[in-house]
Structure 1
Amino acid sequence: MGGFGAFGVSTAAYGFGVEPAQLRVTRYDLSPPQWPADFRLKIAVIADLHACDPWMSLDRIEGIVARTNGLAPDMTVLLGDYVVSQRHVRRSIPAGEWAAVLGRLKAPLGVHAILGNHDWWDDRTVQREGKGHPVARQALEAAGIPVYENDAQRLVHAGRPFWLAGLGDQLAYVPARRFRPLRRVGVDDLGVTLGKITDSSPVILLAHEPDIAPRVPSRVALQLSGHTHGGQVRLLGWSPVAPSGQELSYGHIRKNCDIIVSGGLGCSVMPFRVGVPPEIVLVTLGNAGQAVS
């Protein structure tokens, strides 16, 4: 009993005090069938910052930005949930402050963003009125970072085109916070998003929640998602808490297209992680291989 008690105390201390402060780069080298094998593209992925003091301070975000820029990606994508989502904080960092730091991200093909559910839930005016752009979106755009909501843009790298599509959030509105009934919870429209793609060039889809995966057609080469934090606790490839289900909880998954679910950087509910350290994801398309941390 004493041994189990000591193990529990040490695990709790590690989960609260050690792992949440770590930062690793997880690399995926992929060759999806829909992506030309000789078309090399490096994508840095930042997900689920949940900016707050002391757990995700501006200094820590600056370090994440510097580490990401140091990876020399061709493109950097931000997958949402920039705002704090827990009560155990000293300060919620205003959107203008964390967005200004993210504005220092640099990549030849630019920095591109979508919003997450907490970015929507945190804006009480948008929740009450059932429309509008959340403060997080306004802050990102003020920092020079475009935010995609059911939109797509054609990009060209090394003389070859591809499409970057961004899905609206699937959990944007919380029914309990609204005074009138909701027709739907999300602002996502996959049909509209993919309908903006006008040629046969390969497609990368950004979707905060990975839940959309079963509906994503094979026309898409790669889906990049966050939201789950890998459960924040992951043991032997299993997450006790899996917001999007075990299959979509973390890592590289194959359905109609290749899917990468990031474990994210911040924490939700409480600042605790075991077995899934905060990570920047670096995806290299046009190469076959496995994830390397």
Structure 2
Amino acid sequence: MALGIRKLLKRAMLTAAFSAATLGIYSYEVEPNWVKTQNYDITTPKWPADMPPLRVAAVSDLHVGSPNATLPKIEKIVERINALNPDVILLAGDFGTMKGEGLVLGGAYVPPEDIAKMLKNLKAPLGVYAVLGNHETYNGAKEMTEALEKVGIRVLDNESVLLEKDGRKFFIAGLEDETSQRPDWNKALKGIDEKSPVIAFMHDPSTFVDMNDKPALAIAGHTHGGQFIPFLVEYFRDPVTRAPGKYLYGHFNENGRELIVTSGIGTCHLPLRLGARPEIVSVTVRPPGKP
């Protein structure tokens, strides 16, 4: 009997070890490189009936320099975004990895100029716009802003830009990151008239808590969709983020306020993903009744 129990225990231990090894390989080698395109179709009365549908491509948390977000990989991401033929492209912060203690395990710091050089190839008729994330706030916000704007990517810090599609005007509004303690919706939406619709984007979805009813849609990143075992995210609450569990990933509609939170591309701290595939977001915003 004792011999039988020992055999069962040994078999169970071997099975557990094999499963752990398989899961480790998958979470390091497979899922971080298994990039999907996540499509959304947002129908909202905040997009006027005479406005044409707007195609938006968005990506967040590139974390270039992390083991699974090398420059060659970002080059392929850029090609995939361009292939979507979006009207406008939004980059929602955390472009690189921090130096020193903030560096992801196994990663390497990549200068802002090298990241911007790769993103320069993004193409959209209405432009490419960016906001900064917490990694830029902690380390090199000025350098990243200068690098992006040098290649034609406008960085929005609590400000908006007026765009036009098929003769109809709308605004893109970008918010400063939550970690800067300066996200300001009033400033970002200042001067926007009542009739013109707004698409807003920010790095941290916590900023959505203070958003008024004006924007037709908000897009954010930061959470990585939980990155590693999303259902355990409550055990790893970021004290900076006011609502990480609530706005972890996906599409949210709160009394007509629309939010999309993307899982991003790269990784932070540990170069692992499990149950949170990296993604490019493709969203079409349209008024009710318009195909």
Shift of 1:193: 1.1
Corresponding residue pairs, total:
265
Say if 2:150 is the partner of 1:151: no
Residue in structure 2 matched with residue 142 of structure 1 by the alignment: 150
Partner in structure 2 of residue 254 of structure 1:
253
Aligned to 1:196: 191
Map 1:218-233 onto structure 2 (within 5 A): 218-233=213-228
Q: 1: CA distance between counterparts of 2:37 and 2:259?
A: 17
After TM superposition, give the deviation of residue 122 of structure 1 in Å: 1.5
* Structure 2: gaps of 5 or more residues: 1-11
Amino acid at match of 1:57: T
Determine which of 56, 60, 73 is the counterpart of 1:43: 56
How far did 1:90 drift? Answer: 4.7
Give the Cα separation in 2 of the matches to 1:122 and 1:245.
22
The one of 119, 143, 146 aligned to 1:102: 119
Between the aligned partners of 1:30 and 1:238, the Cα distance in structure 2 is 29
Distance in 2 (alpha carbons) for counterparts of 1:147 and 1:121:
17
Taking the aligned partners of 1:245 and 1:187, their CA distance within structure 2 comes to 19
What is the rounded CA distance, in whole Å, between the counterparts of 1:118 and 1:135 in structure 2? 12
Alpha-carbon contact 1:251-1:260 (below 8 Å) kept: yes
Q: Residue 54 of structure 1: CA displacement?
A: 3.7
Question: Following the alignment from structure 2 to structure 1, what is the Cα–Cα distance between the partners of residues 23 and 44?
Answer: 38
Is the 2:57–2:86 Cα contact (8 Å) retained in structure 1?
Answer: yes
Amino acid corresponding to residue 222 of structure 1 in structure 2? L
Match of 1:111 in 2: 128
SS in structure 2 of the partner of residue 55 of structure 1: coil
* RMSD (Å), alpha carbons: 1.9
Cα distance in 2, alignment partners of residues 280 and 53 from structure 1? 17
CA distance in 1 between partners of 2:261 and 2:104 (Å): 25
Counterpart secondary structure, 1:92: coil
- SS of equivalent residue, structure 2 residue 68: coil
Which residue is equivalent to 2:88? 75
Q: Determine if contact 2:37/2:282 at 8 Å carries over to the other structure.
A: yes
Q: Which deviates more from structure 2 when the two are superposed, residues 71-80 or residues 4-13?
A: 4-13
- Is the 1:150–1:166 contact (alpha carbons within 8 Å) kept by the matching residues of 2? yes
| Letter in structure 1 aligned against 2:262 | S
Divergent runs of 4+, >6 A: none
Deviations 1:26-51 (A, max 9, x none): 00011123113563111000100011
TM-score (norm 2): 0.85
1:277 alignment partner in structure 2: 277
SS in 2 for 1:101: helix
Instruction: Name the residue aligned to 2:19.
Output: 7
Q: When the two structures are superposed, what TM-score results if normalisation uses the length of structure 1?
A: 0.85
CA distance in 2, matches of 1:31, 1:43: 14
Q: Are the aligned partners of 2:66 and 2:268 in contact in 1 as well (CA < 8 Å)? A: no
In the TM superposition, residue 234 of structure 1 has moved relative to its aligned partner by 4.4
Separation (CA, whole Å) in 2 of partners of 1:56 and 1:47: 12
**Of 3-12 and 43-52, the range deviating more from structure 2:** 3-12
2:26 matches 1:27:
no
Q: Is the 8 A contact 2:223 2:244 kept in 1?
A: no
Distance apart, 1:167 and its partner CA: 0.6
Distance in 2 of aligned mates of 1:215 and 1:39: 28
Q: 1:207 aligns with which of 187, 190, 202?
A: 202
